[in-house]
Amino acid sequence: MIPAQNASAGEGAPPRFRLLSALSYCAPLTVNGVVLPFFPVWLAFHEFTDHEIGIILAVPMVARVLVAPIIAMYADRMKERADVLLWSGGLSLLTAVALCWTTNFWPVLIVFSMQGATFAPYLPVVESIVISGVRRWGLDYGSMRVWGSIAFIASTLIGGEMIGYWGGSMVLPVMIFGFVTTVLMAIYCPRIGPTRRRGTPVDIPAATGSSLRQPHLLVLFWGVAIQQSSHALLYAFASIYWHHLGFSGTEVGILWSAGVASEVMVFFVSKHLNRRFNAWTLIRIGCAVCICRWILFPMHWGFVGFFVLQCFHACSFAFVHTGVQRRIVATVQETQESSAQGAYFFYNGMFMGLMTLASGYIYAWLGLASFYVMALVAVVGMSLVFVAYYLQPQRLVSGGQTREAV
């Protein structure tokens, strides 16, 4: 559980807040459960080259990082942040439909990049709404976030099964269905008013943004973003590689689901983990496991071996993500919650986009040895996490304890 700050004893959460928040996570992660593992398969099905696949996957990430922080800051100044979700899901649905009409490089690149831009703010805004609930009413973050991961698993398994029967042509229909769910949940996502506690007078333009410029937080965002970008090669080429090894669509779906299922376990036991480890320890463990994961990945382990390696995602993503969310709660005021999530998303997207673009060339040049390059990238990210820890303003020069609570 991410600790609540100033939770109100006299004011309860809105009706069905937990349920609607969980479903709001399910919608975008249903889309991701199809797009992330199987859109590269759709591109390979239409005979795009490795370089073209790398470019098509990378450019939308750049579009996301340019759009998400701007919309997130705008959301902080709206009476209802959830209103952003309706246009985000609706426009993204239109781009998914448009992809059905083309299989050429430039049109696919343009339309998929537009999808990256329109869908960019959806998950960060949902995240900011849920984190506001954590702050105000002491709710358990993991118990809501976990259902998004479960939705990812379900969509990946169902998508893999459908692709096993009908091939890569099924990717777009499943993607369109996922975007329909984002529009529906945009309508029902919790409306909790502007940032800060409900019932408290809010001067929205008064937020200065100073807490977002704390050096240790920025360096932490950079380090985690670089570490997370080491997953780019996996996201871009793992499905294609596993298909080349002879794994069926269902088996590929199971492998992707194994990684997300491990996330689910982390969120389920997050209360126990957070009692035992502080946020920095979770992040450092995640970075270390990430390095080991990429060192081991190029070896041909068979289906069971790759299943185990995918379970390392519990640490390389879930530990790190949970730790960063705890640091955001401890560092950033609620009036800047969406802005903080947007900044986190920006740096993740920027480095992920650059690494995805590079991965097309690296994989074409080095093949599976490219994962050793990803291990080095994760080492750089982990090094910056250590720098961020020692930049905390509360730390004593003599190496004493910090006052951080999470």
Judged by DSSP in three states, 349 sits in helix
CA distance 113 to 298: 30
Output the pTM of the full model. Answer: 0.74
Query: Which alpha helices (H) appear in 99-196, and where do they start and end?
Result: 105-119, 122-137, 141-166, 171-188
Domains and CATH numbers, the chain: 17-194+209-390 (1.20.1250.20)
Buried b (16+ CB within 10 A) or exposed e, 5-26: eeebeeeebeeebbebbbbbbb
Other CB atoms closer than 10 Å to residue 292's CB: what's the count?
A: 15
**Tokens 């074409």, located at residue:** 364
The closest of 94, 83, 77, 173 to 121, measured between CA atoms, is 83
CB contact at 8 A, 406 and 2: yes
Helix (H) or strand (E) holding 308, with range, is: helix 302-311
pLDDT tens sequence across 316-325: 999 999 899 8
Give pLDDT tens digits for 144-202.
888 888 898 899 888 888 887 887 888 899 899 999 999 999 999 988 877 654 444 33
pLDDT > 90 fraction of the chain, expressed in percent and rounded: 40
The length of the chain in residues reads: 406
- Report the pLDDT averaged over residues 102-115: 95
